[in-house]
A and B are shown apart, each in its own frame.
Chain A
Amino acid sequence: METILKETFARTISVSGSLENDPIVAPQAQGTFFITLKPDAKALKLNITMQEESHLQLFIYNQAESAADVDIRIEMQKDAVCRMGLLDLQNAPLHWNQLVELQNEGADFEILSGQLCMADQKKTGDLEVRHTAGHTHGEIRNFAVLLDRGNYEMVANGNIEKNCPEAQSHQATRVLTLGEDHTAKVIPLLLIDENEVKASHALTIGQPDEEQLYYLQSRGLTTKQAIGLLSVGYFLPVLDMIEDQDLHDRIRAEMESKVGLNGRTSDTE
């Protein structure tokens, strides 16, 4: 299904079952596109074309209660700007595949993802930001929190092709491991076939600092609550992409509940 987004838009979609959508963001159009994967969602396939000087704020919020596939292609033309967020706190597997092509000068793409990985539910991501023109900018920032037996795999690829001078590709993936028996596999890739570029990658995988945990506990937070608070801190940059304050607050409350922050809870709960 092809949709044309013109002028100023604020589009909201809830996905039940499967959805395939091919939105075209018209030249100089700007707006927000908020997609919720409902509890019964199975698959989302998006082919987005961003035409010249278009601006898009894209956010995907996963509420699917069983395994879901997310497949996204974005083609960005001259001076198109896209800010994307993906928040996935579900106790269910997610297979996420995404290719962004920066096809003309001035194309600018940034993604922030936040994923909570719970017991035996595998989250996989394969993201590529491909620069096929010079003077383009791509940035990937992934945040993941792994609880007991959580499983996270992420391939983040910044690909600058030949004849793309002054292209910039940056990426950072931060994984906070909590509990035991978790698996994290992150492959940061920079494929660069051009000399005059700026590129960087950063990766951290590790447990919370013991001093920080003690400090939080010394103010009355249980281990579970302290870890929950640190987890919220990890996801906050992603959540803060949501401009609608009511929606922001509602999702934040859901997030706090999922990481065990609400009310007096004990570690044995």
Chain B
Amino acid sequence: MTELVIQDLHVSVEEKEILKGLDLTVRSGETHALMGPNGNGKSTLLAAVMGNPKFTVTQGTITLDGKNVLEMPVDERSKAGLFLGMQYPSEISGVTNSDFLRSAINARREQPIGLFKFIKEMDKAIEQLEMKPDLAHRFLNDGFSGGEKKRNEIVQMMMLKPSIAMLDEIDSGLDVDALRIVSNAIKQCQSEMNTGLLIVSHYARFYEYLQPTHAHILIDGQIVVSGDQELVEKVDHDGYEWIEKEYHVKAAKEETKQPISLGSCAVKQGA
């Protein structure tokens, strides 16, 4: 049984506090749905747990089976069993998917994985996600469509077998068939490894497939209400306004960047 425990977590980005005292526990086999309006801290939470250097933890603790996650560099967090399926996976030209995954698997083993075993496992994951067979030889996410990138994140999850997997809007960019395929792969991975899941999505349909055991609404950097699948359905039906009224919170507004004037060229002033 693996247990990820987050207590009183405060996280800032460029000195602006995004998470303001968040508590959450995810255990093996559980599926947690994390919902909330845009710009209120869902992605920040996942990135902070994974150790993205852009996010600064200013207060609180994160432990994985009692070990202090905050003291671990990013790679150690992965090797300890954490996985983050990213909303915007990086494109890395020159590095093939197979080289990348073989290196990632070998990084957590004393002896390198046998080539035959690796190919067999990768082929199985590619087949399960119904991706093109040449995936292994393509450069990592380079030239991939949005949907292919998301499926590739799940291929990686299946190969790396994490004990706690966090998926950040992994369903965005997927068509209805792809959503079903990805959901089935996630469920199979969970059933084989008893993985604990923390899933960020805006869509009830994705959660219908995954059947969350827990659901949380994150507003203005804090989890204001928790429940189960019924909470997901209520949010899908009624939105977030009732939560703001009932729990006396106000959702942070997502900042949209305004164009900045760099000044203007000299203009001739009329007399």
Contact = CB atoms under 8 A, between A and B. Distances in A.
Main secondary structure of the interface of A (DSSP, over half): helix
Contacts of A215: 86, 89-90, 92
B25 interface: no
B109 interface: yes
A229 B99 contact: yes
B100 A216 contact: yes
Interface stretch (A16-24, A26-34, A88-96, A260-268): A260-268
Contacts of A229: 95, 99-100, 103
A219 interface: yes
B112 A217 contact: no
Given A216-B92, A229-B100, A222 B84 contact: no
Contact of B52 (A209, A214, A219, A223): A214
A221 B75 contact: yes
A231 to B, nearest CB: 9
Main secondary structure of the interface of B (DSSP, over half): mixed
Nearest to A211: B90
Interface in A22-62: none
A258 to B, nearest CB: 15
Nearest to A237: B94
B160 interface: yes
Interface string A176-217: 000000000000000000000000000000000111101111
A232 B102 CA distance: 14
Contact of B90 (A212, A221, A234): A212
B244 to A, nearest CB: 33
Contact of B107 (A211, A212, A222, A234): A222
A219 B100 contact: yes
A234 B53 CA distance: 25
Interface residues on A, range: 20 to 34
A216 B101 CA distance: 10
Interface string B91-120: 011110001110110111111100000000
B156 interface: yes
A230 B50 CA distance: 21
A217 B92 contact: no
Nearest to B91: A212
B74 interface: yes
A218 B95 contact: no
A230 B107 contact: no
A25 to B, nearest CB: 32
B79 interface: yes
B112 A219 contact: no
Contact of A262 (B52, B86, B112): B112
Nearest to B84: A218
Q: Which of B77, B94, B156 has the most CB of A within 10 A?
A: B94
B143 interface: no
Nearest to B109: A264
B100 A263 contact: no
A230 B75 contact: no
B78 interface: yes
Contacts of A219: 78, 100-101, 104, 107, 156, 160
B73 interface: yes
Given A216-B104, A221-B103, 19 more contacts: A209-B90, A212-B90, A214-B52, A216-B100, A218-B74, A218-B84, A219-B100, A219-B104, A219-B160, A220-B104, A221-B107, A223-B73, A225-B75, A229-B95, A229-B103, A232-B99, A233-B139, A264-B106, A264-B108
12 contacts: A212-B90, A218-B51, A219-B156, A221-B75, A222-B73, A222-B75, A225-B107, A232-B95, A234-B94, A262-B106, A263-B111, A264-B108
Closest 7 CB pairs of A and B: A233-B94, A215-B90, A220-B78, A217-B74, A219-B104, A233-B95, A220-B107
Interface of B: 50-53, 73-75, 77-79, 84, 86, 89-90, 92-95, 99-101, 103-104, 106-112, 139, 156, 160
